Structure 1
Amino acid sequence: MPPREAAARGIPFVAGALSRRQARQTGESIAADQESSGAIPWFRGGHTDPWDHVESAMALSATGLDDEAKAAYRWSAATQRADGSWPRQFRDGVIEDADTETNFCAYIATGIWHHLLCTGDEAFAREMWPTVRAAIDFVVGMQDEQGQIFWARTESGEVFAEALVTGCASMHHSISCAVSLGERLGERRPEWEAARTRLAIALRHRPELFSAKDRYSMDWYYPVLCGALTGAAGHERIAARWSEFVVGNIGIRCVADRPWVTGAETCELVMALDTLGDRDRAVDLFAAMQHLRERDGSYWTGLVFADGKRWPEERTTWTGAAVVLAADALSGATPASGIFRDVAASGAGYVMV
């Protein structure tokens, strides 16, 4: 595949693996499951969580479905609580789980920054800025003095004093996006920059602050994907467990000790490799997971390779969204294609200690 070229906004593609028409079809499959409120559930009739909802909205922006993306983000603004948080699960407009996950709340910043980069629509970004500001203020308020951000809070206000690598890595990226968005809108927030630096140092140097979830591939690659581990440190982390998680030419395991490959995790690893400049392996992995594609452009969540069965029997919006975002990273089709790569390249939030 030729090197990326800076280009005006287009539709993502990966030569030999995903055409522009197919990527647009995937965006349309996501929009087809969107509710009239703007919410994007996991699948039609399924539940909606704030993180996967935003991931799906990003894919809508990347495939030119701007009105649908804006409806999704306006749903986020309409359902945000006064303290900047969201319940972690809705179904058909009803709250099913009123507890809050910090990572779910932070991701709105990534989504709105992505939409602004993709469309240039600064008026919409300004409309959404109070939502982003309240969300990141809430998330930063859950940060411990040692740098990690606690992962959840109950509806009654009890904090789960536990931090997770994947969630904190994602929040590192989201806070970076919020900082960039604020700067673009003339709303610099130095306290967010300081929080991001503390979090980056914790992720790089204080593993004892985080609960061990290393059975999961996300804990392996997320610090690389989200710019907390870059350069040689990023390459070393990926190399350390490559053979444990990558399965031939079908994708990567979600869990190290299960014979199950998943499309979203594979595409996130594609984007993590892209941040490291490991382009050949990224393209190979992207092509490898296309067996999960359905004729309407949607994607099955995963495959149990021990018996060749797709499981769960769900075609999830967020899996399709991860495919679109990975294709954009590899093709450079939209101005937002570097949403992960650029944070990693900037070394955002990291100070040598």
Structure 2
Amino acid sequence: MRRLPAVPGIITAEQVLRTAESIAAVQEDDGGVPWPEGHVDAWNHVECLMAMTVAGLRDEARRGYEWLARHQRPDGSWPMKMAGGEPVEAGGESNHAAYVAVGVWHDLLVTGDEDFARAMWPVVSRALDFVVGLQTTRGEILWERAASGEPASYALLTGSSSIHQGLRCGVLLAERLGDPQPDWELAADRLGHVLVAHPEAFADKSRFSMDWYYPVLGGAVRGPRAAQRLDLEWDVFVVPGLGVRCVSDQPWVTGAESCELVLALDAAGRRERALAVYADMQHLRHEDGSYWTGWQFVNRRHFPHERSAYTAAAVVLAADALARATPGSGVFRDATAQEVRVTGDCGCERAHA
């Protein structure tokens, strides 16, 4: 029997279910879960499937995984954007591919359905091989491979942090299914080290709040380092009573970023702060259970004027993490970094410390 998450004083189990149902309501006939403007990307799609799984909407989630299997390309990637079942932007993002491993591992944790995990294993395996193929000698993972086959010239901190979680989940899934993947584990170790020790490896996107909390959310930064990182820019990005800014230089809080920070705080053991941020962002809730994407607090208007499935998904996943309701509630909390291993490729003093 499913147990829906509830966070006392903030959100009820019935409200969580209605939020998950708002995701199912926009799911397309072919199983894709689109952005408000109509395109589907694999990362946000997987996030939505995870939320529906938490809420027990298993058939809807499985249709979404069928969409992933159907649209995966031979190299293991998905088009960056798809609409009407056709590519709109054909490049393949590494973090999109990696997140499929998080989704399938999460499904196994929640449902216990190993047969389904085995059916999805070839999809996960191809996806993570695509990801590892974009790792540099130093250890960061380039953000994209263009449709021409050319890799991007740089890596993104947020994307690589999410990839770190994907690789860790892929390793766990591989072990559970009896097909160990030591190359993925090594890739995760190398990536974790770069995320901790080499900020210069990534393009400067520091105005985005995701670059602040994602190294914690993805599991590369934990313990005292996580606390220090989250404290460092708390006043830059957190707006008391409203939530988390998307970018530091605009008066704009967004629901998805707020809930992802909740997940990062929960993973770092800062439950009281996590609860406070989660309560603050509930002003974005619509009466039908969906959530507005954001709020421009100078103009006092929803911006953009849309309610997005990926925001609803983040709300559900944050509720589960806080409530410890399902066996998958720790999928972010447990993406813990392993001790850095010296590979010989980096050789910096921090790698040997």
TM-score interval (norm. to shorter): over 0.9
| Aligned ranges 1:255-270 → 2 under 5 Å | 255-270=247-262
Percent identity of paired positions between Structure 1 and Structure 2 = 52
* 1:17 equivalenced with 2:10 (yes/no): yes
Question: What's 2:22 paired with?
Answer: 29
Task: Measure how far apart 1:350 and its partner are.
Answer: 3.3
Within the candidate set 13, 34, 37, 1:41 is matched to 34
Counterpart check, 1:121 vs 2:113: yes
Match of 1:324 in 2: 316
- 8 Å CA contact 1:100–1:153 kept in 2: the answer is yes
Of 62, 80, 86, the match for 1:88 = 80
Q: In 2, distance between residues paired with 1:350 and 1:296?
A: 46
Of residues 253, 274, 277 in structure 2, which corresponds to 1:282? 274
Conserved in 2, the CA contact under 8 Å of 1:196 and 1:349?
A: no
1:36-64 alpha-carbon deviations (Å, 9 max, x no partner): 11100013x61111100000000000000
Once the two structures are superposed, what CA deviation does each residue of 1:91-129 show, in whole Å capped at 9, x if it has no partner?
Answer: 121211111111011110000000110100110000000
1:90 aligned counterpart, secondary structure: strand
Partner of 1:195: 187
| CA distance in structure 2 between the aligned counterparts of 1:165 and 1:36, rounded to whole angstroms | 34
Deviation at 1:183, TM superposition (A): 0.6
Q: Does 1:106 align with 2:98?
A: yes
Instruction: Give the secondary-structure state (helix, strand or coil) at the position aligned to 1:342.
Output: coil
Work out whether 1:214 is the aligned partner of 2:206.
Answer: yes
> 1:158 offset after TM fit, Å?
1.4
Question: Could you give the per-residue CA deviations for residues 119-143 of structure 1, whole angstroms, max 9, x where no partner exists?
Answer: 0011000000000000000000110
State the alpha-carbon separation in 1 of the partners of residues 2 and 264 from structure 2.
Answer: 22
Which residue in 1 is equivalent to 2:292? 300
List per-residue Cα deviations over 1:172-220 (Å, max 9, x = no partner): 0000000001111111000100000000011111111111110000000
Do the aligned partners of 1:197 and 1:350 also contact (CA within 8 Å) in 2?
yes
> 1:219, 1:9 → 2: CA distance?
35
CA distance, structure 1, for counterparts of residue 105 and residue 126 of structure 2 = 15
Is 1:134 the counterpart of 2:153? The answer is no
1:227 aligned to 2:205? no
2:143 aligned with 1:151, yes or no?
yes
RMSD over equivalenced CA pairs, Å: 1.0
Tell me the amino acid that sits aligned with residue 120 of structure 2.
M
1:26-84 per-residue CA deviation (whole Å, 9 max, x = no partner) reads 111100101111100013x6111110000000000000001111110110010000010
Which residue identity lines up with residue 319 of structure 1 in the other structure? Answer: T
TM-score, normalised to structure 2, is: 0.96
1:348 shift after superposition: 3.2
Report what 2:264 is aligned to.
272
Matching of residue 348 in structure 1 with residue 341 in structure 2: no
Report the TM-score when normalising by structure 1: 0.96
Cα displacement (A) at 1:9:
4.3
1:5 maps to: none
1:169 paired with 2:161, answer yes
- Distance in 1, matches of 2:74 and 2:128, equals 13
Report what 2:58 is aligned to: 66
Return the letter of the residue paired with 1:219.
D
How much has 1:349 moved relative to structure 2?
A: 6.2
Residue by residue, what CA displacement relative to the aligned partner does 1:198-251 show, whole Å, maximum 9, x if unpaired?
000111111111111100000000000111000000000000000000001110
> Secondary structure at 2:87's aligned position in 1?
strand
How many positions carry a matched residue from both structures? 343
- Return 5+ residue gaps in structure 2 as ranges: 342-350
- The amino acid across from 2:259 in the alignment is C
CA distance in 2: counterparts of 1:303 and 1:207, whole angstroms? 30
The answer to whether the 8 A contact 1:34-1:41 is kept is yes
- Cα offset, 1:276, TM superposition: 1.0
